[in-house]
Amino acid sequence: MTKLDDTLKMLKALTDAKGIAGNEREPREVMKTYIAPYADEVTTDNLGSLVAKKVGDGSGPKIMVAGHLDEVGFMITQIDDKGFLRFQTVGGWWSQVMLAQRVTIVTKNGDITGVIGSKPPHILPAEARKKPVDIKDMFIDIGASSKEEAMEWGIRPGDQVVPYFEFQVMKNEKMLLAKAWDNRIGCAIAIDVLKQLKDAKHPNIVYGVGTVQEEVGLRGAKTSANYIQPDIAFAVDVGIAGDTPGISEKEAQSKMGRGPQIILYDASTVSHKGLRDFVVEVADELSIPYQYDSIAGGGTDAGAIHVSMNGVPALSITIATRYIHSHAAMLHRDDYEHAVKLIVEVIKRLDANTVNQITFE
| Strand partners of residue 160 | 75, 106
For the chain, helix (H) and strand (E) counts, in that order, are 10, 17
Between CA 13 and CA 7 the distance in angstroms is 10
Decide if 214 is catalytic.
Answer: yes
Element (H, E) at 113: strand 110-117
**Nearest-5° angle of CA 156, CA 159, CA 162?**
140
User: What are the φ and ψ backbone dihedral angles of 247, each rounded to 5 degrees?
Assistant: -100, 125
Nearest partner of 255 among 331, 326, 359, judged by Cα: 331
* Residues 307 and 159: beta-carbon distance below 8 Å: no
Chain centroid to Cα 316, Å, comes to: 12
- 29, 214, 281, 337: which one is catalytic? 214
- At position 227, the amino acid (one-letter code) is Y
Between CA 27 and CA 20 the distance in angstroms is 9
What's the Cα-to-Cα distance from 214 to each of 222, 248, 271, 319, 328, rounded to whole Å? 10, 29, 18, 17, 19
Helix (H, G, I), strand (E, B) or coil at 301: coil
Between CA 24 and CA 187 the distance in angstroms is 12
The CA dihedral of 165, 176, 210, 344, to the nearest 10 degrees, is 170
For the annotated catalytic residues, the residue numbers are 214
